[in-house]
Amino acid sequence: MNKWIAVDWGTSSFRAYLIKNNIVSERIETKDGMKFINNNSFEKTFISLIENWLDDYQTIEVLASGMVGARQGWSEAPYQETPCDLNNIKFISPLINDNRIALKIFSGISQIDQPDVMRGEETQVAGFFLENPNFQGSICLPGTHSKWIKVKDQNIVKFQTFMTGELFEVISQNTVLKHSVKSNKTDQEELLKSVDLIFKHPSLFGNALFKLRADDLINSRNKIIYKSRLSGYLLGLELLGSIDYWKKSKIALIGNKELNKLYSYVLKDRVSSIVFYEAEDMTLKGLKYFKEKIK
């Protein structure tokens, strides 16, 4: 029986999959993100999380990607530079004390001329290639650090990261706007209007933010309105900045359901085609893709 473990160990969460004959037989998800782990306890933490899957008489292969390979991670897997062929992705095998596992951590990708980095997203792109080997266009991975990636022939040609999600988080939690944007819903009309406003006047971003607060003090509208405006301003700024990636292009979105919906709603009339995939699914498929390639 072919048996291995796929691991997506990121900054704030841990996911592992026990795979038997190409099918996920068990899955673990915990909040043990890299940022909560002490420098010397990665191996110990990892073993304790997946102990049940280990066999004293057989070494199991563990394939991991994400921040686990960062300098502050378990062991540094140096960046590979763009343009980067995902069929030749590199990995490191750090020395470990437990001989029940054989660990491979895949590299992230860096870009030198326009400085940028990714760790984990390349795995999702590889997962997408597993199902779309001939795709040529741009892939967007919306999130904390939204990434726009130009791909061709299973290569990552170039990419561009925007701090959209992280800006949304700190602005809505740590600034004077926090009282005005407390809503989990989005008003799509307000969202589109706000995207359009920033498309026309990107330099009014900092003023548009304060106007949310002033409008609330003066007019006290429903908080859905203000939250939708904030989303729209941030999304608008990202889309205007990434226009070379999506204008009249074929687009693939890889994100969670909510972000895929938001982005496709705003992009649908501006791109030549759009498909979307779920991020976790792509990570798992990407590790399978890498496993095939390094055989």
Q: Does 58 bind a copy of itself (CB under 8 A)?
A: no
For a copy of itself, which residue of 211, 250, 261, 291 counts as binding (CB under 8 A)?
Answer: 211
Which has the closest alpha carbon to 140: 131, 151, 129?
Answer: 151
Helix 188-200 crosses helix 205-219 at what angle (to 10 degrees)? 140
Subset of 173-192 contacting a copy of itself (CB under 8 A): 174-176
Q: Pattern of binders to a copy of itself over 105-144, x per CB under 8 A?
A: -----xxx-xxxx---------------------------
The single-letter code of the amino acid at 148 is W
Q: Does 244 bind a copy of itself (CB under 8 A)?
A: no
Strands 91-92 and 101-106: antiparallel
Place of tokens 């991020």: 279
Rounded (10°) CA dihedral 245, 251, 252, 258: 90
Omega before 142 cis (within 30°)? no
For the CB of residue 151, give the shortest distance to a copy of itself in the complex, in Å: 18
For the CB of residue 289, give the shortest distance to a copy of itself in the complex, in Å: 25
Question: Between 229 and 285, whose beta carbon lies closer to a copy of itself?
Answer: 229
For the CB of residue 203, give the shortest distance to a copy of itself in the complex, in Å: 4
Query: How many beta carbons lie within 10 A of that of residue 99, not counting itself?
Result: 8
Interface residue list for a copy of itself (CB under 8 A): 71, 79, 110-112, 114-117, 145-146, 160-164, 166-167, 170-171, 174-176, 198, 201-207, 209-211, 213-215, 217-219, 234, 237-238, 240-243
